[in-house]
Amino acid sequence: MARIRDPAGYDGQREMILSNAAQLFAQRGYAGTSMNEVAAACGVSKATLYHYVRDKHELAVRIAEEHVQRLEAVVREVLAANPSPDARLRELILRFVAEYAVAQHAQRVLTEDVRFLAAADQVRILDAERRVVAAFADTIDAVRGDRAASRLGKPMAMLLFGMINWMFTWLKPGRALDHAEIGAMVADLFFGGVHAVRMPDAPSLPPPASTKTGAKRR
């Protein structure tokens, strides 16, 4: 008779493996991490590790894809629950800071290690990431009252993501402010300037070089 797998035990072990692998990838890089090191960090044998994933590539795929799927789920929840553009943007910021606080290693894998994956996996994961960015860009456009798909929505979204991502390089546990408080500060800071941004004026071009016939050449 086939052995019946305990879903709770299996899923818990799987999450533990993905979490430890994400931390190793974030600290050492995908290329610098071996399956032996993942097994050791998880406290399991290499044979047990291969019971859950085929290889290191599948580990990275699962970490990055499941993380970006969680981010997409957050976006859907926020957009459905907040009809006001201002409320949507503020809640997106707060929820993403909270999500990154518990998944910063997975975020690092998403931003740094997807390039090591097979082309089809890269396309699927990066398409999901683009949808997340587009949701932020569209919300920023709505807050500003800009037309849809303006030239400013995406750059401002990327600046916002940069602010959120960078905070985890210096914000450590035990500091005076926690992630929720810093998230509120990020929202206030962004809203304080979101209406002030304007497209820069096109730079003036230098006059064209002389093309007179017979001009002397040196």
Question: How many Cβ atoms sit within 10 Å of the Cβ of residue 27?
Answer: 11
pTM for the model stands at 0.83
Question: How high does pLDDT run on average in the chain?
Answer: 87
Whether residue 216 has pLDDT greater than 70:
no
- Which of 64, 48, 186, 71 has its CA nearest to residue 118? 64
Are the C-beta atoms of residues 151 and 157 closer than 8 Å to each other?
no
Measure the CA–CA gap between 105 and 38, rounded to whole angstroms: 14
Burial of 213 (0-12, 13-18, 19+ CB in 10 A): exposed
171 or 126: which carries more pLDDT confidence? 126
Whether residue 37 has pLDDT greater than 80:
yes
Sketch the domain layout of the chain as residue ranges: 61-194
120 or 165: which carries more pLDDT confidence? 120
Q: Which two tokens stand for residue 55?
A: 């290889």
- Which of 156, 118, 157 has its CA nearest to residue 126? 118
Find the range with the poorest average confidence among 51-65, 145-159, 191-205. Answer: 191-205
Find out if CATH 1.10.357.10 is the number for domain 61-194: yes
Q: What is the pLDDT of residues 75-119, one digit of tens each?
A: 999 999 999 999 999 999 999 999 998 999 999 999 999 999 999
Are the C-beta atoms of residues 187 and 88 closer than 8 Å to each other?
no
Q: What is the pLDDT of residues 162-183, one digit of tens each?
A: 999 888 777 776 667 777 888 8
Whether residue 67 has pLDDT greater than 50:
yes
109 or 4: which carries more pLDDT confidence? 109
